[in-house]
Amino acid sequence: MFPIVRLRRNRRTSWLRDLMAESTLRPEDLILPMFVVEGENERHEIKTMPGVYRQSIDQVVITAKEAQERGIKAIALFPSVDDKLKSEDADEAYNLDNLVCRTIRTLKNKGLEIGISCDVALDPYTVHGHDGILIDGDVDNDQTIKALSNQALVLAKAGADIIAPSDMMDGRIMAIREELDSNDFTHVNILAYAAKYDSSFYGPFRQAVRSNKKEYLSKATYQMDIRNIKEAMREIEQDISEGADMIMVKPGMPYLDVIREASERFDVHIFAYQVSGEYSMLKIASEAGVLQWEKAIVESLIGFKRAGAAGIFTYAALEVADMLK
């Protein structure tokens, strides 16, 4: 009790604050998402995501090397697919020579010591922009699972280290795990987007991968209701029971309560995704002079760690790794 107890004593110097810190942020905690396009020497900034680029495979290799040199342990690949390759059934997703597969093979051939995570979802490849197969205007769960299993197998054959289903179909983790195991890919990890919400923060991402066919495309029938946390726990529990090695909560900042609850309830690594809208919100505000970028981005990431996240997908990974040196 004051005046005997003076909590400010532990905050009086920088070294003492570091000594007493309850949460830490390291480059090893960060995963760098990257957008891949066809071509050579292509590097185009995404207007709605300042500082983030669509890059051709050769440029992705350069960026991946930079990430590795900074201590970042994994990258995540997202394709920006030409409209001519999109179809109702997302046929290009099952092509062993598609853009993502070629990127994986190129990175592996370069001998980089960095993990490669790849999303399993059909929205970059469909003409309608949904994450699954449409039947009579609705995303059909069971047909989509078959398609996702095919996509996962193709990515594993190309050399992906982590398969990350982000589609939110019921039962897809078990189906993908069985497909991988039956084809001798028992070593490939599954990072399940178990609590992926029907969020308004995905807009810049959908523009980046050119999956946004309408100004607003509702995915409310399969992505989670933003009002629910108990349902998120059920989703996570089910995905773990079906063979998920790791769990994702997406988006991150509006769902710190979900990260906290999941990290306390389940004995698996919980990852957070600082999605495109979160990143752009902070970046654009800082460019307008409203926020100080370095302090704001680190504060936001520490918030994920404090809530219980084991790792964070963030488009600012390279910048933050430099800040942490």
Give the range among 65-69, 101-105, 136-140, 205-209 with minimum mean pLDDT. Answer: 205-209
Give 233-268 pLDDT, tens digit per residue: 999 999 999 999 999 999 999 999 999 999 999 999
> Cβ distance 35 to 276 under 8 Å?
no
Q: Rounded to an integer, what is the distance from CA 204 to the centroid of its chain?
A: 14
Q: Please name the amino acid found at residue 214.
A: K
* Whole-Å CA distances, 257 to 38, 175, 250, 306: 39, 29, 12, 11
Cβ-based neighbour number of residue 122 at 10 Å: 28
**Catalytic residue ranges:** 196, 250
Q: Which residue, among 222, 179, 180, 252, has the nearest Cα to 31 in the 3D structure? A: 252
206 pLDDT more than 80: no
Looking at residue 133, its pLDDT comes to: 95
310 pLDDT more than 70: yes
pTM: 0.95
214 pLDDT more than 60: no
At the top level of CATH, the class of 25-246 is alpha beta
Q: Helix H segments across 166-292? A: 172-182, 203-208, 230-241, 256-265, 276-287
325 pLDDT more than 90: no
Contacts of 266 (CB under 8 A, 6+ apart): 236, 237, 240, 247
Handedness of CA 271, 276, 282, 286 (dihedral sign): positive
The structural domains of the chain, with segments of one domain joined by +, span 25-246
User: Residue 274: how many CA atoms within 13 Å on its side-chain side?
Assistant: 28
Q: Which residue, among 275, 192, 174, has the nearest Cα to 232 in the 3D structure? A: 192
17 pLDDT more than 90: yes
Give 83-113 pLDDT, tens digit per residue: 999 999 999 999 999 999 999 999 999 999 9
Looking at residue 216, its pLDDT comes to: 59
Q: Mean pLDDT score of the chain, rounded to an integer?
A: 95
Looking at residue 211, its pLDDT comes to: 64
Mean pLDDT of 195-218: 79
277 pLDDT more than 90: yes
Q: Please name the amino acid found at residue 40.
A: E
The burial of 184, by beta-carbon neighbours within 10 Å (0-12 exposed, 13-18 middle, 19 or more buried), is given as: exposed
Give 148-193 pLDDT, tens digit per residue: 999 999 999 999 999 999 999 999 999 999 999 999 999 999 999 9
H/E element, 165: strand 162-165
213 pLDDT more than 80: no
pLDDT band at 207 (very low <50, low <70, confident <90, very high): confident
